[in-house]
Amino acid sequence: MKKNIQKNAVLKLTLVLLMCICYTSAWAQSRTITGTVIDDQKVPLVGASVLIAGTSLSTTTDLDGNYSIQAETGQTLMFSFVSMETVSVVIGNQTTINATLNGTKILDEVVVVGYGTKKKSDIINSVVSVSAKDLTKVATSDIGEMLRGKAAGVQVTLASGAPGGSSTIRIRGQRSITGGNDPIVIADGVRIGSINDINANDIESLEVLKDAAAQSIYGARASNGVILITTKRGKEGKTSVTYNGFSGIQTINRNFDIYSGEEFAQLKREAFRTNNGGAYRPDEQIFSALELESVQTGNYIDWEDLIIRTGETQNHAVNISSGNDKFSIFSSLNYINTKGVIPNSDYNKVGLRLNADQKINKWLKIGLNTSFQFYDTNNPNNGGVLLNAITTSPLGKVYNDDGSLRWLPGGFEENKNPLIDLNETTNLIEQRNDILNLFLDITPFKGFKYRLNASRRSWNYKRRSYNTARSLAGISNNGQGSGAIQFQDNVEWQLENIFTYNFNIKEKNHFAITAVQSISETEANSFTNNADRLPNDILGIGGLEGAFLNTPDISGTKRGIVSGVGRIEYDYNSKYYFTISGRTDGSTVFGRNNKWAFFPAANLGWNVYKEKFLENVNEINNLKLRFSYGSVGNEGISPGQSQSYADQRDYIIGDIRVSGYIPGPQLPNPDLKWETSTTFNAAIDLGLFNDRITSTVEFYNTRTKDLLVAQALDQSSGYASRLSNIGEIENQGIEVTVNSDLIRTDDFRLKLGVSFTKNNNKIISLYGKDADGDGREDNDVANRWFIGRSIGVFYQYQPIGIFQQGEDIVNSAQPLAQPGDVKLRDVNGDNLINDQDRVITSQAPDWYGTLSIGTEYKGFDMSADFYTVQGVTRNNTFLYGYTEGGSLRGIKNGIKQDYWTPENPGGNFPRPNEGNDPSNIFTMGLQDASYIRLQNITMGYTLPRNLLDKFGLNNLRIYVTGSNLFTITDYQSFSPERSPNEYPEPVTIVTGLQLGF
């Protein structure tokens, strides 16, 4: 046994050395305090936090509830544990301090809010905390995906499921049209570009700020919500090392069929038949020789089988933390590797973090947060591959007789061999992302703190794509290669001066004053060179000097923002709360006279449960009412839109290139100003039966004024659109979260959580004009904006069936239609189909919600999360588009539909037509994209203490996780949130290991 320990010690030492060569820490001499932490049932608490007040030094209890920490006499030890009351003990002469933590008080948990932290019971804003544990249980490299369903009011949809892909996050609906809807992500007080600029395993806590009062402190870019991430920091005491890793496989699910070889051949016959006056033509006239061979022998091509593979994913993270009373450090290394379901698509990411804190003296402290991430992504032609897997005709031959890939498998250029480009194209993207953040804290006397926070963030992007001479593009170019190279560099710096002062008057009156001044600037520069017709492939894109044609493109933008913020918080005896704040922001992107704006906010909170009349109601341990009202601004538009500038449009005169400049189709707007969102938020927090049931219900109403929109202009003006501030829209909604510890015994725990979010989005006002005099404000039909409807709507004809033989078509609203054509709804009944018959259909979901279940039995744990979105409509181009194989012409394969023929009058899709797309088939795309998904299911086992001791370990858990195992939806695609040609979120099954020592 001893040998075992030594062996492990060597292993551990090696790991430590490997992971943190740069580690330096001076071990100070201070007293060791040990003890045990137990709960009111006398059960040892595992992982309870032991913190020396006023420092960042802390440790956690082991599996027996024991801890050991270096501390000095006179310091205060704070013992805390999730859902327990915090206990403080001042250190005297003793070397052993035991603590008993009572009850299940969620209220004492500490939550990070704007520029500070607060106990949950003191929070009167709309803030949701998501635990790091809940995040990392989803096996993905995308933190957005991890966040999905974890917080009411936060809607996450897939932006790209490709390896290294990301998500779109919307907090409380879409409130801006062009002003941007992405929340800002603040990591350790520094705005970062994307939520994925952080490693998931580095996250200590993640908070989402939803109401205006919470956001007001982050103002300018916070109008769409704020995601606050705090990364882990070094803690005083024993060095701790944890490892978390998983690896597994990925596939994709689809809920549609494509035409089989036989079915496709029949579709083609039907399409030709329609064009031939209803008579079938002989196969020889329809099919090429290659196709005919397939039809006759029954050897069809299964492109999906040839193209899609099983992907692989692995993720390894090692965290090391240590520290003493003067210095602490946290470092981490993260490696992610994913090989996608499309051959050649892969993603590699290495993330490094180093957070350090140095106390210089009693009143001065400096800290450093650094993060470096290196990614490389390979995604040659991803979209095209999935498209081709669906749409390439199954007739013909994949290979030439010599075994090489056949360019045109069926002999027609509409169906080129999709396997060629899998082998012959590359698209390599290398990115580097670094964050450097230095802060200096001055705390001259109790309650006062000044922080200077300086940061620089940079993002470096390199793309090299190349199509060889043998690629499809190369074949078109007479056997010459082509490609592009792009270098982009974005740099953002930020400087903040933060003053906070907390004081009490007569014990019960607590005040906190915050003042912040901040300035930041972002600069982006991009250079792209497209190279066409390279004579050979020897150097790939590296040989672009030899290209017949090189086309450079250069672009750059610069934007900046300056802000000043003030906030006064007051509470009386932690019972009545009042906060008022104001901020003023100036942004470069607005018109000369409209750069500055002021945004105020106020909150009220009432801890009702602390009132006398509830004191004796034991069932209720928390009841809080909160109200907030405030404004924030949105400046999320691209730079330069308030200024008139001209695009370069050169020409050739007398065979010589001449320079030309002309304004583009977008008219500038020198009066551009801030878009302002004002939110009223009312909420009730409830804790019942000692927090066995906790619930939060929030109601909100956000009015967004001076919307920044690309307003379509009258084309005869010579311009297509202009960015304008117009009108007002409303987002109103309700969010309900209920969590319960249904069963809690020594051995068995069952937890159930439900969240529900309903958001209503509608346009209140546009231009305030009533030109038609009907007493209602006019809609803007050209832009598809209708008063009282949501921002995103479809406005098009509505198909109501298929014309049948024998039907009185001549006297219908479509007198020229043929049997088998799409029948449209004549909305106004004037027996004409024209622009008056277009129908409005909303795109936004009615509601979305989650159900999560968690159980623990002895060392086993299991959790499952279901996620649903209801009432969404999407336009599926694969139901009608030619390129997407939806137009029933027998040229491209596509998603299988029940099409009409004289023999199949019940078909709900129009009659195939070889010559052209069937009339009005473009109206057939709207499809219900609601879905229910088993987002995540995890089963794990944690090794018991006695076994862990044998190996000298702190923690060892093995687990199996399945993500996106099934989705129930009517939307015909790989994912209800993506078109069938877009990379869907994969079905992932992984096994993982968590290790701590």
Contacts of other proteins in 710-729 (CB under 8 A): 712-720, 722
C-alpha closest to that of 236 among 411, 441, 68 = 68
Nearer to other proteins by C-beta: 267 or 929? 267
444-483 residues in contact with other proteins (CB under 8 A) are 444-446, 448, 450, 452, 454, 475-478
Backbone torsions φ then ψ of 627, nearest 5 degrees = -140, 140
Q: Which stretch binds other proteins (CB under 8 A): 256-264, 268-276, 600-608, 895-903?
A: 268-276
Residue 967 in 3-state DSSP? strand
343-382 residues in contact with other proteins (CB under 8 A) are 363
749-778 residues in contact with other proteins (CB under 8 A) are 771-772, 778
Binding mask 432-451 for other proteins (x = CB under 8 A): --------x-x-xxx-x-x-
Q: Of residues 642, 757, 927, 967, which one binds other proteins by CB under 8 A?
A: 642
Backbone torsions φ then ψ of 292, nearest 5 degrees = -60, -35
Q: Count interface residues toward other proteins (CB under 8 A).
A: 109
Nearer to other proteins by C-beta: 782 or 968? 782
Other Cβ atoms closer than 10 A to 398 = 15
Asked if 810 is part of the footprint of other proteins (rule: CB under 8 A), the reply reads no
Least Å from the CB of residue 888 to other proteins? 13
Least Å from the CB of residue 561 to other proteins? 8
Residue 203, C-beta contacts closer than 8 angstroms, at least 6 positions apart: 132, 135, 136, 143, 229, 230, 231, 232
Nearer to other proteins by C-beta: 221 or 559? 559
d(CA 227, CA 156): 13
Q: Contact at 8 Å (CB) between 948 and 956?
A: yes
User: Which residue reads 């270096």 in tokens?
Assistant: 70
Q: Which stretch binds other proteins (CB under 8 A): 3-11, 246-254, 495-503, 856-864?
A: 495-503
d(CA 627, CA 699): 10
Least Å from the CB of residue 45 to other proteins? 38
Asked if 835 is part of the footprint of other proteins (rule: CB under 8 A), the reply reads yes
Asked if 85 is part of the footprint of other proteins (rule: CB under 8 A), the reply reads no
Nearer to other proteins by C-beta: 158 or 921? 921
Residue 696, both tokens: 């939060």
β-pair partners for 487:
462, 527
Q: Of residues 102, 296, 299, 644, which one binds other proteins by CB under 8 A?
A: 644
Other Cβ atoms closer than 10 A to 784 = 17
Q: How many residues does the chain have?
A: 997
Least Å from the CB of residue 352 to other proteins? 28
Q: Which stretch binds other proteins (CB under 8 A): 14-22, 202-210, 456-464, 634-642?
A: 634-642
β-pair partners for 140:
none
Asked if 643 is part of the footprint of other proteins (rule: CB under 8 A), the reply reads yes
d(CA 491, CA 985): 31
Asked if 413 is part of the footprint of other proteins (rule: CB under 8 A), the reply reads yes
**DSSP secondary structure letter of residue 828:** T
Nearer to other proteins by C-beta: 799 or 992? 799
Asked if 818 is part of the footprint of other proteins (rule: CB under 8 A), the reply reads yes
Residue 386, both tokens: 């999935």
Q: Of residues 9, 18, 743, 782, which one binds other proteins by CB under 8 A?
A: 782
Least Å from the CB of residue 497 to other proteins? 4
Residue 18, C-beta contacts closer than 8 angstroms, at least 6 positions apart: none
Nearer to other proteins by C-beta: 117 or 916? 916
Nearer to other proteins by C-beta: 350 or 436? 436
Asked if 817 is part of the footprint of other proteins (rule: CB under 8 A), the reply reads yes
Residue 717, both tokens: 């003006």
Angstrom CA distances, 585 to 219, 590, 659, 947, stand at 8, 11, 40, 58
Asked if 828 is part of the footprint of other proteins (rule: CB under 8 A), the reply reads no
917-936 residues in contact with other proteins (CB under 8 A) are 919-920
Asked if 663 is part of the footprint of other proteins (rule: CB under 8 A), the reply reads yes
d(CA 703, CA 181): 14
Torsion angle of C-alpha atoms 571, 575, 576, 577, degrees rounded to 10? 50
Asked if 88 is part of the footprint of other proteins (rule: CB under 8 A), the reply reads no
Residue 813, both tokens: 């609203």
Residue 107, both tokens: 């209220």
Q: Of residues 460, 517, 798, 855, which one binds other proteins by CB under 8 A?
A: 517
User: Which residue reads 């045990």 in tokens?
Assistant: 36
Residue 10, C-beta contacts closer than 8 angstroms, at least 6 positions apart: none
Q: Of residues 30, 140, 240, 274, which one binds other proteins by CB under 8 A?
A: 274
558-597 residues in contact with other proteins (CB under 8 A) are 558-560, 562, 586-589, 595
Report the relative pairing of strands 31-39 and 99-101 from DSSP bridges.
parallel
Q: Of residues 27, 572, 661, 860, which one binds other proteins by CB under 8 A?
A: 661
Least Å from the CB of residue 815 to other proteins? 8
Least Å from the CB of residue 73 to other proteins? 25
Asked if 495 is part of the footprint of other proteins (rule: CB under 8 A), the reply reads yes
530-559 residues in contact with other proteins (CB under 8 A) are 532, 548-549, 551, 554-559
d(CA 46, CA 61): 6
Residue 254, both tokens: 């689809």
Residue 82 in 3-state DSSP? coil
Least Å from the CB of residue 635 to other proteins? 11
Chain CA centroid to CA 15, Å: 33
Nearer to other proteins by C-beta: 17 or 549? 549
Least Å from the CB of residue 841 to other proteins? 16
Q: Of residues 667, 729, 793, 956, which one binds other proteins by CB under 8 A?
A: 667
Least Å from the CB of residue 657 to other proteins? 5
Report the relative pairing of strands 509-534 and 549-572 from DSSP bridges.
antiparallel
Provide the strand spans (E) within 443-572: 448-467, 481-505, 509-534, 549-572
Question: Residue type at 825?
Answer: R
d(CA 127, CA 439): 25
Asked if 285 is part of the footprint of other proteins (rule: CB under 8 A), the reply reads yes
Return the CA Rg of the chain.
32
Residue 790 in 3-state DSSP? coil
d(CA 752, CA 768): 48
Least Å from the CB of residue 921 to other proteins? 9
Q: Which stretch binds other proteins (CB under 8 A): 72-80, 257-265, 282-290, 989-997?
A: 282-290
Least Å from the CB of residue 838 to other proteins? 8
Q: Which stretch binds other proteins (CB under 8 A): 375-383, 406-414, 430-438, 622-630?
A: 406-414
Asked if 913 is part of the footprint of other proteins (rule: CB under 8 A), the reply reads yes
Nearer to other proteins by C-beta: 21 or 662? 662
Q: Of residues 834, 836, 904, 908, which one binds other proteins by CB under 8 A?
A: 834
Asked if 86 is part of the footprint of other proteins (rule: CB under 8 A), the reply reads no
d(CA 251, CA 962): 11
Chain CA centroid to CA 147, Å: 8
Q: Of residues 284, 507, 545, 903, which one binds other proteins by CB under 8 A?
A: 284
Asked if 280 is part of the footprint of other proteins (rule: CB under 8 A), the reply reads no
Asked if 708 is part of the footprint of other proteins (rule: CB under 8 A), the reply reads no
Binding mask 842-881 for other proteins (x = CB under 8 A): ----------------------------------------
Q: Of residues 535, 660, 768, 801, which one binds other proteins by CB under 8 A?
A: 660
Other Cβ atoms closer than 10 A to 51 = 21
Q: Contact at 8 Å (CB) between 223 and 702?
A: no
